[in-house]
Every structure is written in structure tokens, then in C-alpha cells.
């Protein structure tokens, strides 16, 4: 799961109600689905999870608030992660079979 605790103090995390902890788990699972390619997550589900964070639907706002988080803050953080991930994926299109990037480094000797 994605670690949402690093943005809270230990005391703030302890004070969460069981309902808030449940919604926090929902939010963390959505973040995990959006950011990590797993065999059990279908491509469409991953795209839906990304869109959920990127387009700030009413359900997104409700889940964030129920979890005790600011929806705008979560939206901005996840937007940066998702867009950065897309940029990294585009850079890796040139990856060869052995996992090395197809980039030549010229030695000016």
C-alpha cells in the first residue's frame, strides 16, 4: 500500500476514528492501483484509478474528506506522481531486452 502516514504526525494518525482509517485504506488502495502495475489490476482499472485522482470527482473529494485529508493536497501530490510516471514510461520506451536504455554515450577521447 501507499504510505499516507508520512504526511501526519504519530498523534494525528492515532486520533483517527475507525471510519477514517477505513477511508484512508480506500484512498491508499486507489493510489496503489493508480501507480503500480500488478497482475491482478486490469489496465482499465488502473486508468480509472488515475482518472479518479486527476479529475477530482465528487467521490474523490468525499473519500479524502472522510479519510481526514485535504482533497486539493492529495490531488496535487497524486497528479505529480502520475504525470511523472508517464514521463518515465515514455523515456523507457527505448529499453532493450537486457533492460538497458537504448542510449549511446559518446566518449570524446
Please tell me the predicted confidence (pLDDT) of residue 106: 39
Let me know if residue 88 belongs to a domain. Answer: yes
Let me know if residue 67 belongs to a domain. Answer: yes
* Residue range 13-21: mean pLDDT, rounded: 80
Task: Give how many domains the chain has, as a whole number.
Answer: 1
Domain span including residue 62:
5-94
Contact 52, 59 (CB under 8 A): yes
Let me know if residue 58 belongs to a domain. Answer: yes
Let me know if residue 100 belongs to a domain. Answer: no
Let me know if residue 54 belongs to a domain. Answer: yes
Let me know if residue 107 belongs to a domain. Answer: no
Let me know if residue 102 belongs to a domain. Answer: no
Please tell me the predicted confidence (pLDDT) of residue 14: 59
Cα(first)–Cα(last) distance of the chain, in Å?
48
Residue 37 reports pLDDT greater than 90: no
Confidence of residue 43 (pLDDT cuts 50, 70, 90): confident
pTM recorded for the entire structure: 0.65
Let me know if residue 71 belongs to a domain. Answer: yes
Q: Which residue carries 486527476 as its cell?
A: 54
pLDDT tens column, 52-92: 999 999 999 999 999 999 999 999 999 999 988 766 555 55
Amino acid at each position: 500500500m501507499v504510505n499516507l502516514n508520512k504526511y501526519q504526525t504519530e498523534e494525528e494518525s492515532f486520533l483517527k476514528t475507525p471510519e477514517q482509517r477505513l477511508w484512508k485504506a480506500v484512498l491508499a488502495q486507489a493510489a496503489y492501483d493508480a501507480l503500480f502495475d500488478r497482475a491482478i489490476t486490469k489496465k482499465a482499472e488502473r486508468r480509472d484509478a488515475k482518472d479518479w485522482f486527476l479529475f477530482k470527482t465528487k467521490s474523490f473529494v468525499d473519500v479524502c474528506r472522510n479519510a481526514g485529508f485535504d482533497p486539493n493536497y492529495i490531488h496535487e501530490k497524486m497528479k505529480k506522481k502520475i504525470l511523472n510516471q508517464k514521463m518515465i514510461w515514455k523515456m523507457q520506451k527505448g529499453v532493450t531486452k537486457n533492460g538497458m536504455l537504448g542510449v549511446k554515450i559518446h566518449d570524446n577521447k
